[in-house]
Amino acid sequence: METGLDVERIRKDFPVLSRELPGGRPLIYLDSGNSAQKPTQVVEVMREHMAMHYSNVGRAMHVLGAESTEAYENARDKIAAFIGAPDRDEVVFTKNASEALNLVAYAFGNPIGTDPRFRLGPGDEIVISEMEHHSNIVPWQMLAQRTGATLRWFSVTDEGRLDLSNLGELVTERTKIVSIVHQSNVLGTVNPVAPVLARVREVGALMMLDASQSVPHQRVDVAALGVDFLAFTGHKVVGPSGVGVLWARGELLEAMPPFMGGGEMIEAVWMDHSTYAPAPHKFEAGTPPIVEAIGLGAAVDYLSEIGMDAVVRHERELTAYALGALGEIPGLRVIGPTDLADRGGTVSFTLEGIHPHDVGQILDDNFGVAVRVGHHCARPLHLRFGIPATTRASFYLYNTPAEIDALVRGLHHVRKVFA
């Protein structure tokens, strides 16, 4: 299988992929949708900064403080370029995508906010979808409970696609915000942004994308997408955990009230009131994830050098190979699209009569194959398909067809064990 990606060279950048598990089994890591492995280049950048340059940012008038601040802000520049942000000050560092989503939800209905676009109350509506990660469900549920607004959602078709048949009835003049996943962490589905955004603009609402699964695996350009907000997390982008990103249009960030109060997010403080720093610092109270942000900058450097177009081609070929091979296993049902149209390299499935937890345990114990099992923080989606859990294999730039072959052998073995 030729994709233009030198996978064997890439694998050498990830020391963990050469690890032997107990019993001499090689590690076969098919769980990057959960968290990606980290290349040496990212680990070394973080180690070097922690060992030789670490200081708090924006506060210390000495060499280390200047070096740390420069590295931290350079990371912001790199991430802005990676996602096509028109202005680097539109990139806000958070601790993960969940915090980024909560930050935006907090802005709606906040009593200290004055912009009418963020006023929310009874009669107003929030729209999400049935395929969301809990991180893009629970904050909006909490917002609806806090404000009296109504939460509504797109359903999902039997093929695992977003059902847009009632788009006009679902997104109306009462809608204030639509927040949907760009690429499903369970189905692999890549959702169509353009028709939803066109309707959002028609009714004067705002739109947010959870891009946690799309930014690592496809070329994402926020300017081309045209949405208002986008969130993703570092640990899925071959970067560290503990850091995420909120991108938002600059004029919206200026209109939004702060998410947290504390040091660094202020302009001036008196005993009875405070004024706030401009974005992005208005949303980065306290000591930020300095080394983690720098590591995320190194991660997007790594992906940029390889080229996201090459990553997309490689994952597309792997996914086609996996769908074909899995389709030959008796009793296996793929939950989500079974073709390559508008889908990424995440494949969730069930094996008839066998609980996913048993599938995952046998794959790990006998074959060294690491997959994820459960509802993947998307329980409503599993309820939609009438299943309690799935087994999920998710592929990335360092995976090979041979690893998919090992997964298939393991699944045949699982069937024999439970025959």
Express each pLDDT in 70-79 by its tens digit. 999 999 999 9
361 and 402 in one domain?
yes
145 pLDDT band, cuts 50/70/90, is very high
282: DSSP letter: G
353 and 261 in one domain?
no
Please tell me the predicted confidence (pLDDT) of residue 378: 97
Domain end, chosen from 257, 287, 304, is at 304
**What's the mean pLDDT in 281-308?**
97
- Asked whether the predicted pLDDT for residue 60 surpasses 80, the reply is no
Please tell me the predicted confidence (pLDDT) of residue 245: 98
**What's the mean pLDDT in 154-178?**
98
Give the residue from 185, 109, 118, 184 showing the smallest Cα distance to 148.
Answer: 109
- Asked whether the predicted pLDDT for residue 3 surpasses 70, the reply is no
CA atoms of 176 and 121, how far apart (whole Å): 10
CA atoms of 67 and 283, how far apart (whole Å): 22
% residues pLDDT > 70 (the chain):
99
322 and 262 in one domain?
no
Give the residue from 301, 194, 197, 208 showing the smallest Cα distance to 252.
Answer: 208
Q: State the average pLDDT for the chain.
A: 96
pLDDT digits (tens, 9 = 90+) for 256-288: 999 999 998 999 999 999 999 999 999 999 999
% residues pLDDT > 90 (the chain):
95
Which residue is listed with tokens 């009875």? Answer: 272
- Asked whether the predicted pLDDT for residue 113 surpasses 90, the reply is no
Strand, coil or helix: 325: helix
What is the chain's length? 419
Classify burial at 166, counting beta carbons within 10 Å of its beta carbon; exposed 0-12, middle 13-18, buried 19 or more: exposed
Supply the pTM of this predicted model. 0.96
- Asked whether the predicted pLDDT for residue 369 surpasses 70, the reply is yes
**For the chain, what is the domain count?**
2
2 pLDDT band, cuts 50/70/90, is low
Domain end, chosen from 275, 304, 333, is at 304
Q: Are 340 and 321 in contact (CB under 8 A)?
A: no
377 tagged catalytic: yes
Question: Is 56 inside any structural domain?
Answer: yes
Task: Write out the residue range of the structural domain in which residue 83 sits.
Answer: 44-304
Active-site option among 66, 266, 325, 377: 377
Please tell me the predicted confidence (pLDDT) of residue 61: 84
- Asked whether the predicted pLDDT for residue 132 surpasses 70, the reply is yes
User: Is the dihedral angle over the CA atoms 155, 160, 381, 311 positive or is it negative?
Assistant: negative
Question: Is 73 inside any structural domain?
Answer: yes
Domain end, chosen from 304, 330, 345, is at 304
